[in-house]
């Protein structure tokens, strides 16, 4: 997958997923194999929302993604103070990218959304 080049990179020592960050946001990504049957982006988005508490579900914003190279979804949630949690999946040709972005200021929320919209397995 391609990640914007200005972000610094490391690997999470606890579970091995990739972590990218700058002063405005932290991005956690994991690549997965797409299940061969019974998987749909909309169904996965619905399961994501159902797993949230009732309060979080009421505040969540859902956006479905189709960037031409991949399909997916993004869920946005307030995350205390000025922080926003941006989570989702994008997939194509049997591969998925799961991502979580912690955004540290309201101005960077659109930047995190653009990142989620642009992700695609290579």
E strand segments, the chain: 8-11, 18-21, 25-33, 61-66, 71-78, 84-92, 95-103
Q: Is there a domain that residue 3 lies in?
A: no
What was the pLDDT predicted at 102?
A: 93
Count the neighbouring beta carbons within 10 Å of the beta carbon of residue 41: 19
6-64 pLDDT per residue, tens: 788 888 888 878 899 888 899 988 888 877 677 789 999 999 999 999 999 999 999 99
Whether the pLDDT of residue 99 is over 70: the answer is: yes
Q: What backbone torsions phi and psi does residue 106 show, to the nearest 5 degrees?
A: -60, -30
Q: Is there a domain that residue 97 lies in?
A: yes
pTM of the full predicted structure? Answer: 0.85
Q: Is there a domain that residue 2 lies in?
A: no
Q: Is there a domain that residue 42 lies in?
A: yes
Q: Is there a domain that residue 63 lies in?
A: yes
- Residue span of the structural domain in which 85 resides: 8-118
User: Residue 83 sits in a domain of what CATH number?
Assistant: 3.40.1000
28-40 pLDDT per residue, tens: 888 888 776 777 8
Q: Is there a domain that residue 1 lies in?
A: no
What was the pLDDT predicted at 4?
A: 63
- The residue ranking higher by pLDDT, 100 or 12, is 100
73-93 pLDDT per residue, tens: 999 998 888 899 999 999 888
What was the pLDDT predicted at 53?
A: 95
**Number of domains the chain contains:** 1
Q: Is there a domain that residue 17 lies in?
A: yes
- The pairing of strands 61-66 and 8-11 is unpaired
What was the pLDDT predicted at 2?
A: 66
Distance (Å, rounded) from C-alpha 14 to C-alpha 99? Answer: 16
Q: Is there a domain that residue 84 lies in?
A: yes
Tell whether the torsion through CA atoms of 109, 29, 100 and 39 is positive or negative.
Answer: positive
């Amino acid at each position: 997958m391609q990640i914007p080049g200005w972000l610094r990179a490391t690997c999470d020592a606890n579970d091995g997923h990739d972590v990218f960050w700058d002063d405005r946001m932290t991005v956690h990504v994991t690549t997965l194999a797409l299940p061969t049957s019974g998987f749909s982006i909309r169904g996965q988005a619905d399961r994501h929302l159902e797993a949230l508490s009732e309060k979080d579900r009421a505040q969540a914003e859902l956006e479905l993604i189709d960037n031409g190279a991949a399909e997916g979804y993004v869920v946005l949630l307030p995350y205390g103070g000025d922080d926003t949690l941006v989570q989702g999946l994008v997939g194509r040709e049997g591969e998925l990218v799961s991502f979580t972005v912690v955004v540290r200021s309201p101005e960077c929320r659109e930047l995190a959304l653009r990142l989620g919209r642009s992700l695609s397995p290579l």
